[in-house]
Amino acid sequence: MTRILFCECMQEISSFNPVPSDYGYFNIQRGEEMFRQRGLNTAIGGALSVFEAHPGLELVPTYGARSGSAGILSAAGWRQLSGELLAAVREKIGGADAVFASLHGAMGAEGDLDPEGTVLAAIREMAGPHTPIVISLDLHGILTDRMLRHVDGLAIYHTYPHVDFADTGARAARLLLEIIQRRLDPVIARVTIPALVRGDELITRTGCYGDLIRETERLEHEGKALAAGIMIGNPFTDVPELCSQVVIVAERDGAWAGREGVRLAQEFWALRHRMQGKLIPLDRAIAQARWMRGPVVFTDAADATSSGATGDSNVIIRALSEAGIERRILAQIVDAPAARAAHEAGVGARITVPLGGRLDRQRFGPMEVTATVESLSRGRGRFETMRADFDAGPTAVLRFGSCTVVVISRTVGLIDRALYFANGIDPSDYDIIVVKCPHTEYQMYDAWVEKNFNIDAPGATSADLRSLGHTISSRPIFPLDENVSFEPRPMLYAAKRRRP
């Protein structure tokens, strides 16, 4: 029997979120509990679908940790999390023939700005130099030199908005099996690009970034590359190796992989100006929404919990309320005290509470509202795409004026409509819908709204990248700096040196 050990550690952080996250933010699965991801649209779920279809494999689950995006992970939280993960791996690593790790790539902890690199270095030390290790990554991850020195291969998401979580895990699993069965010594070519990108051109279904991704998919499907992808990093994770990068895994030919990496990196660089966020002033969006038939979406990407923001911005709600728009407005906000006050008062009660502005206080202030408590819930549901559960904590639906606001206690990734549906709300019943996510899948909103306004608002995940204040990332980098030059140079990482 071939023994394949697998683990998971996933979180994306915004360094500009003033509220640190901690161990309690993570959903932990220990050992056999990881098999609960069978059939889910997760990397582990996809990998299991491949592994379990192959006879002669013994699967060794160890430890899975998943968190929604948030602020930087506290030092104490990372010590506990990494300690538990590595202890679980250490207990079962003996006799393992290969390792699969589901990672994100955009983690960051106090005192450790490359947590995934730390984990992979420790696993490599435990597994020894000859055990193949393959990882899966979000295309918003930051793949570091340290990570690459300890892996034999990787698979990267190919879609944004992300729908291929399971597919990426399956590709990683097939790559790992191919390395084992054919005794491959892959070489990985990496070409870093000093550019940070945002905006509609990143939507892989329609944007120019998607055109480049399809080139990497072609290389995979034609068998020229074992794996290929283009990572755009997370511009809000301020770490030394923050960048965009092309990554190509080849069977032997590192020179070819390097040339292809350079080619794609040059094409990416030429498109960098197109791949920037196009924002509209809030007052202009409100003025236009007054006369539009609608419905319309106001995208609050600057306060996107799915990208690591606090989710407590009331800037758009306040402006719409003060503008006196009588059209039906739907929004969401993170405010645990307001949700608690609603639960204490009960359904049907009238309460006066400060709403929002409790977490990111440098950017937002509280907005006092007198509202009717329309409904209450535990804040639990299941994401539309991933089909994984979420828990937003005690949740209340408040109504004041023409505004209906879903108030949650904990940040969850507002990547779809699941939070609304879980509270008995259909966004299509409203005229103006505030969405705290830079992009959702097309059918969720864009297919039926008249216009999606990408609002220029403050927040820890603003597409106005220069406003954030990067201090750690390598410089110069576009668009933070002027006159950035780029001469692509491939870096090669070979597993051959580790083989017996």
Structural domains in the chain? 2-275+488-498 (3.40.50.10350), 280-462 (no CATH)
Name the pLDDT band for 185 (thresholds 50, 70, 90): very high
**pLDDT over 60 at 55, yes or no:** yes
- The partner residues of 183 in beta bridges, in order of sequence, read none
Size of the chain, expressed as the number of residues it contains: 500
The angle subtended at Cα 128 by Cα 32 and Cα 247, nearest 5°, is 85
pLDDT value for 385 = 81
Work out the average pLDDT over 47-76. 97
Per-residue pLDDT tens digits for 210-237: 999 999 999 999 999 999 999 999 999 9
**pLDDT over 80 at 496, yes or no:** no
**pLDDT over 70 at 499, yes or no:** no
| Mean pLDDT of the residues in the chain | 96
pLDDT value for 363 = 96
Helices 254-270 and 208-221 pack at an angle, to 10 degrees, of 170
Are the C-beta atoms of 464 and 479 separated by less than 8 Å?
no
- The partner residues of 102 in beta bridges, in order of sequence, read 8, 136
pLDDT value for 414 = 83
Neighbours of 371 (CB within 10 A): 25
Work out the average pLDDT over 46-69. 96
Q: What is the pTM of this model?
A: 0.94
Work out the average pLDDT over 119-146. 97
> Distance between CA 8 and CA 17 in Å, rounded?
24
Helices 43-51 and 165-182 pack at an angle, to 10 degrees, of 40
Work out the average pLDDT over 124-146. 97
Report percent pLDDT > 90 for the chain: 94
pLDDT value for 7 = 98
Per-residue pLDDT tens digits for 252-271: 899 999 999 999 999 999 99
